[in-house]
Structure 1
Amino acid sequence: MKQPRRQPLACAASLAVAAILMVSPAAAQDGAAIAANGVSGAPACASCHGTQGEGNAESGFPRLAGLNAAYLVHQLASFVDGTRKNDIMPPIAKALTPEQRQAVADFYAGQKVASATAEKPDAKLLARGAALAITGDWSHGVPACGQCHGPAGQGVGTAFPRLAGQGATYIENEIAAWKDGKRGNDPLHLMSGIAHKLSDDEVKAVAAYYAGLHVAKDSPHD
């Protein structure tokens, strides 16, 4: 079937509009710009998560750099639909369009991960954390964290994020959120079940262990 011919002027106008939309800051497709400057209703992501998404370990703001883009989009959507509760993020996530969320996620997924410098925790605490991460505690029905989050916490696929180098305070806070029912956006509610089986000391141990790990240079984030 023949396609109807378009008028040259109409074609030119359409192309011009498309070009403007592609480059216009108002289209908000530039994830780096959103991260650095924010948009109407959403402050700059960098104000909490750092200029390159390195996070703020002391304040409990997570590292976003190098995390899988699909995972980040899912988390933003969870703040919007209420399956992940937080005192700060829901209004910010709601201020972003789906396209803006994707743009920001793509930007952070492409950032290099800098190893955090923090005071080394107690060796006994680290050893307990390593045991839980590598072998788990089957006497209490706790599988090894690495079964989902990969060897040395480098992350697996789009659902299980990289934990290596993530701030200990953030990890502790999120496990507490699963315990308290403030977060329920995990696959098959795996983390919700595991979190309830961990004591406070075990949570601290696992968090300290993963916070001290280096990120593999060839670890995928896409």
Structure 2
Amino acid sequence: MSLQRAVVALLGMSVMAVAAADGAAIARKGAAAAVACQGCHGVAGEGVAQAGFPRLAGLGAVYLQRQLAAFADGSRVSPVMLPIAKALTKADQAAVAAYYAAMPYPAAPSAAAPARPAPPGSGAARTAAASDALPSNLGATLATRGRWSDQLPACEQCHGPGGTGVGAEFPALVGQSSAYLAAQLAAFKSGARPAGPLSLMAVVAKKLSAAEVTAVAEYYATLPARTNR
């Protein structure tokens, strides 16, 4: 390798290292007028369930960067996140998004995961039909089967089996608190958050009752975290 190529390679590695360090620094110490991310989202990006602050660890970098951009331009309404996101440059947003995307999922919740409902038409499903209206079953039913009589798709059709997320548009639901998930469904319903491709989430959220929102949020909040996204 020539000296010139070696210098270029070293410079490239240095730039990558600086970008990674910036993401970590923003998360831990903040940047400019932006406070440190970990103050609300936890040291390991696990979120703070009691306060409704979501986990960031293990979510996709593109998804996280898009959310920061939406907070900054006001299309995703949050009095807390607006000034923080606006204080970050696009490079800052990309760096901190990449930092959290590279972090491992937090530990699984301690609560036992709710049982997945039996396939429609099976003997087990007919036996359990009378109890499907209970909150513990309702969340699982909406998440895995939906309600096609109302043209309501199952959550996992877009967010993947177990709510682990699919691509940049459909984030993981598993590992988030029930308070955060319920708040996001309310935001989709009111228009306080962009509704995503084909305005799908606004349509879905408006078809859910308050009890159904609670049930599906609690279902995903109790599922164990997975290693895939």
TM-score by length of 1: 0.83
8 Å CA contact 1:31, 1:106 repeated in 2 = yes
Structure in which a larger fraction of residues adopt helix: 2
Measured on the aligned residues, the alpha-carbon RMSD in Å equals 2.6
Deviations 1:75-96 (A, max 9, x none): 0011112211112001100000
**Equivalent position of 1:54 in the other structure:** 46
Deviations 1:16-66 (A, max 9, x none): xx79x94997x8962111000001110000000001110001110000000
Distance 1:107 1:23 in 2: 12
8 Å CA contact 1:165, 1:210 repeated in 2 = yes
Distance 1:197 1:24 in 2: 47
Structure 2 matches for 1:35-54, cutoff 5 A? 35-54=27-46
The Cα of 1:213 is off from its aligned counterpart by 0.9
Distance 2:50 2:152 in 1: 28
The percent identity for this pair of structures is 49
The Cα of 1:118 is off from its aligned counterpart by 5.7
The Cα of 1:115 is off from its aligned counterpart by 2.8
**Equivalent position of 1:206 in the other structure:** 216
The Cα of 1:113 is off from its aligned counterpart by 1.2
Structure 1: which 5+ residue stretches go unaligned? 1-10
C-alpha spacing 1:154/1:24, structure 2 compared with 1 (3 Å): closer
1:160 is paired with a residue whose SS is coil
TM-score by length of 2: 0.81
The Cα of 1:188 is off from its aligned counterpart by 1.7
Q: Aligned AA for 1:136?
A: G
8 Å CA contact 1:154, 1:216 repeated in 2 = yes
Count of paired positions: 203
The Cα of 1:139 is off from its aligned counterpart by 1.7
Distance 2:32 2:80 in 1: 16
Distance 2:77 2:149 in 1: 31
